Amino acid sequence: MSNDVLAEPVDWPPLWEITLGDCPTALAWDPSGSRLAAASLAGDVVVAETADGSQQQVSFHNGGALCLDWAGARLVSGGQDGTATIDGDRIELGGWVSALTSSQSGQHVAVGHGRSVSVLDVASGATLSSERHNTTVTGVCWHPTYHDVVRSGSFERIAQQQIGVAAALPDIELEFGGAIAAVGVAASTGRTVAGVRGDFAYLWHDAAMSQPILVPTGPWAGELFCFSSGGELLATASPRMTAVFEFAPDNPLGMPSGKWLTSIGKPTAIAWQPDTDRLCSAVTIGSDVDDNGILVWEPRRSPTPIGFVKTRGRVEQMVWQADGDLLAVAFADGTVGVGHLDVGTGASLDSA
């Protein structure tokens, strides 16, 4: 018999909440964990103090704010108005700004806007590099080891561009094509993932793989994936398959082993708790307020959840503070809450 532990469902009590003008689109903690930034479809971009939830509006995007990130202590945002802002200072780019990410140093930010990817200097706001795609850019990330190289995804393409270099770098070959929905990187391990709207995701490791491999996901939108803080675990979430892929350090090809987790409902957000093997997936099961919550697993121990934390509504965004102490959760009604995540007191499945 299994000795796994399943906790009784518990309610999530936030320490504080704020309310945005519409459905939240992005959350991001600053590197120190002392401030939380949030954006919404109403266009507002606000920063809340971790200590007490006091907030101020930093910028605004007509038509909706879609993405944001911290470049060191400076906040960068983008929206449907075709602009990026750095601490509220507006930079006209054109096309919807649908994705952005700051470099490891915080000196540069890569911005996907319409069919283009531009790299901005954070200090001056100047455009340092720009490249055009044939279709809309849906995701950007920085190369895990070459800190002046940006990777971007669109339809059937993962492009690479280097700051200040006119010659184009070769695309990463995608054998099976597909519409890329998002790209992500684990800088600590050199692994990169691209979610595809379909039944799989591309995964590659710069030091070991000459071409990307495919990992199964089940039918999904290609957006719900994340690396653990150490980069050795990759989670993907879809209505039919929430899975974790683990990379053995002694595997020279970098091929991962996979585990299908026991899940319910439709996942809406996913995140690893930093410096742990604990995976959290927000799910919605039905239309009632009690039919939403956060499933919590420790996948290396068991595919069965160790707990279910009920939330006040459907979770749209979820992000951990860097030290893994506090969790920020954004709900469809515009509410953003911050609090600890306690899965409750466990009971042995053998006694069930």
- 36-45, 73-82, 220-229, 254-263: least confidently modelled range: 254-263
* CA atoms of 189 and 144, how far apart (whole Å): 8
Question: Of 68, 70, 65, which is closest to residue 82 (Cα–Cα)?
Answer: 65
Amino acid at 267: P
* CA atoms of 221 and 315, how far apart (whole Å): 17
* 351 pLDDT above the threshold of 50: no
* CA atoms of 245 and 306, how far apart (whole Å): 19
- 50-54, 56-60, 228-232: least confidently modelled range: 228-232
* 344 pLDDT above the threshold of 90: no
pLDDT digits (tens, 9 = 90+) for 35-45: 999 999 999 99
* CA atoms of 3 and 304, how far apart (whole Å): 11
Question: Of 148, 188, 154, which is closest to residue 174 (Cα–Cα)?
Answer: 154
pLDDT digits (tens, 9 = 90+) for 247-289: 876 665 557 889 999 999 999 999 999 999 999 999 998 765 5
Identify the bridge partners of residue 272 per DSSP, sorted by sequence position.
279
Please say whether the dihedral angle defined by the alpha carbons of residues 16, 22, 27 and 32, taken in this order, is positive or negative. Answer: negative
Instruction: Answer yes or no: are the C-beta atoms of 80 and 98 closer than 8 Å.
Output: no
Burial of 153 (0-12, 13-18, 19+ CB in 10 A): buried
* CA atoms of 245 and 300, how far apart (whole Å): 10
Q: Which value, in Å, is the radius of gyration of the alpha carbons in the chain?
A: 20
Residues 116-121 have a mean pLDDT of 97
Burial of 167 (0-12, 13-18, 19+ CB in 10 A): exposed
Amino acid at 119: V
Edge-to-edge strand list for the sheet holding 180-186? 180-186, 191-196, 198-205, 213-220
pLDDT in the model for residue 152: 97
* 62 pLDDT above the threshold of 80: yes
Query: For all residues of the chain together, what is the average pLDDT?
Result: 91
Supply φ then ψ for residue 325, to 5 degrees: -85, -45
Task: Looking at 62-219, list the stretches that DSSP marks H as alpha helix, in order from N- to C-terminal side.
Answer: none
CA dihedral 154, 157, 162, 164 (to 10 degrees): -60
Burial of 22 (0-12, 13-18, 19+ CB in 10 A): middle
CB-based contacts of 20, cutoff 8 Å, min separation 6: 38, 39, 40, 42, 44, 46, 330, 334, 335, 336
pLDDT tier at 290, thresholds 50, 70, 90: low
For residue 157, give both structure tokens: 């393409």
